[in-house]
Every structure is written in structure tokens, then in C-alpha cells.
Amino acid sequence: MTITTKDWDATTTQKQEFNVDGTIVSAYFGVSRGISTKLGESPLSLKSSLMFEFESTDNFEFIYRLWHIAKNFLCFLCYRKNVYLPTAELDAPCEDGKHENFAVLYVLGEDKETELDELKKGKYIQQQYIVGAEGAILSDIASDMLYLRHLPHSHSPIDAARFIMITAAFEWEFHRNYPQGIPRNEETTKVETEVSEVLQNLVKSNTGKAKKKYKFLLKLVKSDSLQSEIEQIGRDYGEIVDIFGENLYALNHETLNYSEMGTRLADQRNHFAHGDLDRDFIGLSLLDLIFLQFVIYAMQLKYYGVEEINVKRAINDLFARRLLIPDDSSN
């Protein structure tokens, strides 16, 4: 019997650089090949690998930090935290541009079972969808700029705590995409400027509690509500996410409406903010929150320059929507 594998270049992605505390690291995906002549072991093993290259170092805290970044990257691609990496191989360069394994990093507490069924179902973002964006994503993970706090431990039902974290993720990503807030027309800008000037004068001419109140009101003048932010996303990201929203709401005999969705989510958040954590979700707000998860990934991937068709494919796979995603050429 003969087994032939493709060469290294054919199974290795282009290197992407990212910064970790001032150190430049190259990252790429590849296929690791192992050969064994021991009895009871497979003579040939093939494993998909995420590889980091960096200058030689004896700083094992830095190596552990890279391991942590790698894990968070995979958690992002799988939308869950129960992704475990019990070991990481350390290699050193040798002759002919090759590398030789010299040590293994063992991470305590990582010897747990991951959700293999989810992987078998293809519920993850494939590398081919994010080609060229890997470095930027890893860099933002290293600097805590990519919001990951809302990732669930596993594909579990949504509760009040997850509601708060998912809406927080949406607003974090919204502010990254719209650092100046929702675009305003000339008339709105003029009114906001006039009101701000009045409040600024009141802040200067008052003290104590009155001054604090006027400062609070001044912050609200140019702030955007959750409802208005969701309506803006509907206008700007509809071509990407409408296909998922329309399908999701239709399955529940409802219609996608961003304005109504924003109102429901804002009311639900106020509901929880007042301590009503033991009550059921209001109306369709749970359905809205499921859809909001798709929207967050659309915002995140589009931020990194991923093509719209690949953003759709990534969401379709990750959340197992099983929709037919046509190529751009056939739209």
C-alpha cells in the first residue's frame, strides 16, 4: 500500500503577522505529519495545526500567552469556550529550513473533552473564509480589542446573564464600527450642538447635585439608543444578515423588523436592569437575541475586511442555518 500526501506549500496558508506586547509573531495554518515505527501506533499521522513563529526566547510566560491567544482564537471561530488545548509543541529551526521538536508545553486543566459532535457538524468558521484577516484578528485578541466575553461555555440555552453579555458585545462592536456614533443629518447635528451649549453653560453655573445632573444630561445629548443602533445596522448590514433574519423569523411565523427588534431588546434590557431576572423573555426578545448573535459576527468579520459572501458562509456554518448561500455572481 502507498500513501501520498501533498507537499508542505500546498497544505500551508500564507503567514500573517500580529503584535504581542511589542513582539512580532507570524501565524499560519498547516498540516503536521508524524511517522512512527512503534507497535500499536499509526505509522502515519496527519494533524491540522495553528503555528506561531517568533524570535528565540526563554520567556515561557510569553509562550503561555501565545497559547492563550491561540485558544481564544479557536473559541472565536467555534463560538464557545469549551475548546481545549492540553499541549503545545515547541520547535526549533534546524538545517534545510526545517524545524525539530524539542519540547512540549502541558497546560493543567485542559485535559477535558471538547464538543466533537459540533465539529463533526461543521459548526465553526473555516479558515478559507477569513484568509488574510487572521493576523488582524489575532492582534486584537492579544490586545483585548475583540469582544469575546459573551462567548458561551457550550451551545447552551440563552438565559438572563447571556442576554446581558450578548447585548454588551453588540454595543462594543457597534462603537468599534461607528466611533463617531450614528451618522446624523445637518439639522440633527445643529440641534444637538445648541442643546449641548445650553447644558455646558448650566454645568459651569451650577454646583453640587444640580451640576452632576446637567453633566449626566449632557452625555445623553449625542448618545445613541440601542434601538437606533440596531436600526442603523439593519440599513448597513442588511445585505449580509437579512437572509438569516428573514428565515429565522419566518420559521416562527413572524417578520423581521429592525425597529421593532430594537424596541423589544431595549425593553428587555431595562426589564433585567431593574432586577426582574426570574421572569420570562418579553415577546419576541429571545428570538431577537438569537438573531443578534448572527449580527455580531457579521460586524466583527466585516470589520476585518472579510468579503460579504464569506461572512454569510461563516455565519451559515457556525450557527448551522443550512441556507443556500449563492455566489455574488449569481445575485
- Range list of H helices, the chain: 60-78, 116-120, 134-142, 160-177, 186-205, 208-221, 226-251, 258-273, 285-303, 308-318
pLDDT tens-place string over residues 99-139: 788 899 999 988 888 788 888 899 999 999 999 999 999 99
pLDDT at 247 over 50: yes
Residue 235 burial (CB count, 10 A): 10
Query: pLDDT for 232-242, tens place per residue?
Result: 999 999 999 99
Whole-angstrom Cα distance, residue 261 to residue 265? 6
In this structure, are strands 23-35 and 44-53 parallel, antiparallel, or unpaired? antiparallel
Summary count for the chain: helices (H), strands (E):
10, 5
- At 265 the three-state DSSP class reads helix
Q: Structure pTM?
A: 0.85
* Greater model confidence, 175 or 35: 175
Q: Please name the residues in contact with 59: beta carbons below 8 A apart, sequence gap of 6 or more.
A: none
Cell for 160?
438572563
Structural domain boundaries in the chain: 12-36+45-142, 160-180+224-330, 186-221
As a whole number, mean pLDDT of residues 20-36 equals 89
Predicted local confidence at residue 117, as pLDDT: 85
- Tally of CB atoms within 10 A around 226: 19
Q: Which three cell numbers stand for residue 244?
A: 438569516
Beta-bridge partner residues of 105: 88
Which of 56-65, 91-100, 107-116 reaches the highest mean pLDDT? Answer: 56-65
Residues near 170 by beta carbon (within 8 Å), at least 6 away in sequence: 229, 230, 292, 295, 296, 299
Q: What's the pLDDT at 251?
A: 95
The C-alpha atoms of residue 125 and residue 67 are separated, in whole angstroms, by 20
Size (the chain), residues = 331
Phi, then psi, of 179 in degrees rounded to 5: -60, -25
Which residue's C-alpha cell is 485578541?
141
The amino acid sitting at 252 is N
Residue with cell 526549533: 92
Q: What number of other Cβ atoms are within 10 A of residue 243's Cβ?
A: 19
